[in-house]
Chains A and B, each alone.
Chain A
Amino acid sequence: MTAVKTTETAAPAGDIPPALPPAVTGGARKRRRRGGAFDRALPYLLLAPALIAILWLIGWPVVSVFVTSFRQLNLGELVRGEIVWTGFDNYVTVLQDERFWDVSVRTLVFTVSVVVASVGMGLGIALLMRVLTPWVRVALQIAMLCAWAMPILASTTVYQWMFDQNYGILNKTLVQLGFDSFAGYSWFSSGTSTLSVVGLLIVWQAIPFLAFSLYAGLVGIPRDLYEAAGIDGATGWQTFRAVTWPEIRSLLMMVTFLSTLWDFKVFAQIWVFREGGPSGESTTLPVLQYLEGIAKSHFGVAAAISVLMMVILGLITFQYLRKLLQTEEGKI
């Protein structure tokens, strides 16, 4: 989800002290006395549908994934409705499987590369947009909007076509440029190559959001700060370090955090390209979870993988998450 927008649009509102209930102010006071019980219950009544939905559709699955991870639950048990507790057996199975460690390392390397590349380029483009001639900037923004708006499955299909072994435009262009070895070259013959193409696709589609958000942040920096830096004779790099960086640091942290959340759980693109292949070499944790749980119907083992996924994601985002919750709590 695009939660940044969230926090950013919420930010100006966050500066306004929490609104007092209308009941506390003058004219409404009488009203409050009349309908006291109803008025006191009203906020809870308004929140009830959302709260019930969240507890039912998010809270319960979270509990359930932990519970399931301690059960032996394959298709047989599921059909018979049996409950077989196996303690930590599923975790032992998963953690002793060498493939799990390979896949975890691969997922981490993939996530970090994609996040660094997309945030880095997003920042670069945001900085670049400030110095562009207006019409070039608009052209770039429209182009980025097209990339951003394309549904994931549509862009995945287009990339499959562009990277097609025999008739893909990329191979044809490379041959035209004189690299004859690319005639009929398969970009999906190894896991690394497959994941690189997937990574390029994800970075290409992630940059627009990052560039737009960071550009908006840059535009918001007061102009006199730059004028002051200019008068002091600061070089471009010094100005960046002293003026730009402190102003966008928190926004940059925020989008890096969100990108990590999003890129860690990528499934559709990886699955559609080669279903985690060739021979499992492009399998990441979400794909492994799907293969174990849905394809092989080993629900208990898959639930253990899900829990471990959440643990890994929690570990890499823990520091930031804690800080975020603290600041937000202060603002509420």
Chain B
Amino acid sequence: MLKKSAANVVGLALALFFLFPTYWMITSALKPKGSTITSDYDLIPFSVTFTNFVTAWTKPGFLSSLGNSLLVTLTAVVAAIVIGITAAVAMSRFAFRGRKSFVLLMLVAQMAPFEALLIPMFLMMRDLQLYEHLSSLILVYFAVTLPFCAWTLRGFVNGIPIELEEAAMVDGCGRWGAFQKVTLPLLGPGLVATSVFAFITAWNEFLFAKVLIRSQDSETLPVWLSGFQTAFGTDWGGAMAASALFTVPALVFFLIVQRKMVAGVTAGAVKG
């Protein structure tokens, strides 16, 4: 019993360790101007205001970079998912010459160290006249997420018994009909989980966003936030509010898939 309560104490201490930065981000953002930068010991806020959020929201560049981030991320992820599904279906539902090589190619491609391809990517985008255009980022994020999407979705498609599709085809569905009416709905949870992880990857990306985009109008949120000192000076309250706003979409998506993801991992561990 003593052992168990000791474990619980350690568990709670760790929970505090993981939670503290989030707590500190939110409370700093809620503090009135002038009481963030203070020598007083202010672990617990006593007055709450939302002015920092207004400041961050109306800062030049915040809204446009938020829009750019959403545009780039969503376009890249949708493209990667659509093309990923077709590749996944081909790899898992058909027997054809070269299948094994394709599957291994996807596995290797998703482990490619993209950061090491910075220079050729930069040169390529320059040659294509896409340098400084958001479309260059869309292409890069699409390429980063595509192998992962194809590989993961292949696992999900494999998990759907092919007999279901066959039954639909016996009942008179065409191949497309069987896919659309049987496989696609069953693939739903897998699609959600895969696209969320692809979304997070693109949402976080910093190096290419910094290198390929130089004009302020086309900046994405990570790059804008990295230069927050030019925007906020030492206004840490405003910077924390901006960080909090940046976190919200990611956190929402995470909460959606969290359960699915762990369930998936568990299933793998039981059988593997």
Contacts and interface: CB of A to CB of B under 8 A. Distances in A.
Nearest to B117: A61
A64 B123 contact: yes
A58 B236 contact: no
Contacts of B251: 146, 149-150
A289 B119 contact: yes
Contacts of B25: 150, 154, 158, 161
B158 A61 contact: no
Contact of B225 (A5, A47, A157, A251): A157
Interface string A131-165: 11100110110111111111111111111011010
21 contacts: A1-B197, A8-B264, A9-B159, A22-B178, A47-B86, A47-B102, A50-B86, A57-B140, A61-B117, A68-B119, A128-B10, A139-B15, A146-B22, A150-B21, A153-B222, A155-B21, A204-B17, A208-B18, A289-B115, A289-B116, A325-B107
A27 interface: yes
Contact of A306 (B8, B118, B157, B253): B118
A114 to B, nearest CB: 16
Nearest to B16: A143
Given A28-B166, A58-B117, A303-B120, A44 B154 contact: no
Contact of B110 (A3, A216, A309): A3
Nearest to B25: A158
Interface string A202-224: 00100110001101110110000
A21 B117 CA distance: 37
A6 B152 contact: yes
Nearest to B167: A27
Given A65-B116, A133-B8, A21 B94 contact: yes
Interface in A38-63: 40, 42-44, 46-47, 49-51, 53-54, 57-58, 60-62
Contacts, number: 393
Given A20-B95, A162-B21, A65 B243 contact: no
B272 A250 contact: yes
B267 interface: yes
Interface stretch (A93-101, A187-195, A260-268): A260-268
A294 interface: yes
Interface string B212-224: 0000000001100
Nearest to B251: A149
Interface of A: 1-16, 18-22, 24-28, 31, 40, 42-44, 46-47, 49-51, 53-54, 57-58, 60-62, 64-65, 68, 78, 125, 128-129, 131-133, 136-137, 139-140, 142-159, 161-162, 164, 166-167, 169, 172-173, 176, 204, 207-208, 212-213, 215-217, 219-220, 248, 250-251, 261, 264-265, 267-268, 271-272, 286, 289-290, 293-294, 299, 302-303, 306-307, 309-310, 313, 321, 324-325, 328-329, 332
Contacts of A204: 17-18, 21
Q: Say whether chain A's binding surface is mostly helix, strand, loop, or mixed.
A: helix
Most chain B beta-carbon neighbours within 10 Å: one of A19, A309, A310: A19
B211 interface: yes
